[in-house]
């Protein structure tokens, strides 16, 4: 009797990455986005907390801060990864066989990557970074 060597299982790193982006997008969509809406959209206009007003000079000065740029990038892009992953697995659960294919994955996750790249482009071309 010959002993068969065990096959070494490699972790599915791509699958791990998309699940990580899904979970982070869900976290930010469930926690950070509602807080942002309450502070900027409700408490600010009521005068309870100071927020950025609607003047161009104020927006350009606040968008020059790299922390604000990073915050907006996370606030915009991660929920799109969450949406792409959730929509893909919704179609898988509904029995659509094409949702399991590589082109479908490229379409869903590629759209989230495009939104992220577009967000980066807009953030870096809107206002120059100022550290002062």
Measured distance CA(112)–CA(83) in Å, rounded: 8
Q: Spell out the domain ranges in the chain.
A: 17-126
Nearest to 77 by CA among 125, 36, 128, 33: 33
CB 113 within 8 A of CB 84: no
The first and second tokens of residue 75, run together, are 């606030």
Measured distance CA(61)–CA(77) in Å, rounded: 22
- In sequence order, the 6+-apart residues with CB closer than 8 A to the CB of 28 are 74, 75, 78, 79, 82
| pLDDT single digits (tens) 52-91 | 887 888 888 888 999 999 999 999 999 999 999 999 999 9
The whole-chain average pLDDT of the chain stands at 88
| pLDDT single digits (tens) 26-56 | 998 899 899 999 998 899 889 898 888 878 8
Res. 4: pLDDT tops 80: no
Q: What pTM was estimated for this model as a whole? A: 0.78
Domain covering 17-126 in this structure, CATH number:
1.20.1300.10
**In which band, very low, low, confident or very high, does the pLDDT at 129 lie, cut at 50, 70 and 90?**
confident
């Amino acid at each position: 009797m010959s002993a068969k060597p065990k096959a070494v299982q490699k972790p599915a790193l791509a699958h791990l990455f998309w699940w990580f982006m899904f979970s982070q997008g869900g976290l930010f969509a469930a926690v950070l986005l509602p807080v942002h809406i309450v502070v900027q959209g409700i408490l600010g206009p009521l005068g309870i907390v100071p927020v950025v007003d609607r003047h161009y000079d104020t927006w350009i000065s606040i968008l020059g801060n790299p922390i604000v740029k990073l915050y907006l990038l996370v606030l915009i892009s991660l929920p799109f990864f969450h949406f792409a992953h959730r929509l893909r697995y919704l179609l898988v659960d509904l029995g659509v066989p094409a949702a399991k294919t590589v082109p479908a994955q490229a379409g869903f996750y590629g759209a989230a990557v495009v939104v992220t790249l577009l967000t980066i482009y807009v953030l870096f071309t809107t206002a120059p970074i100022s550290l002062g």
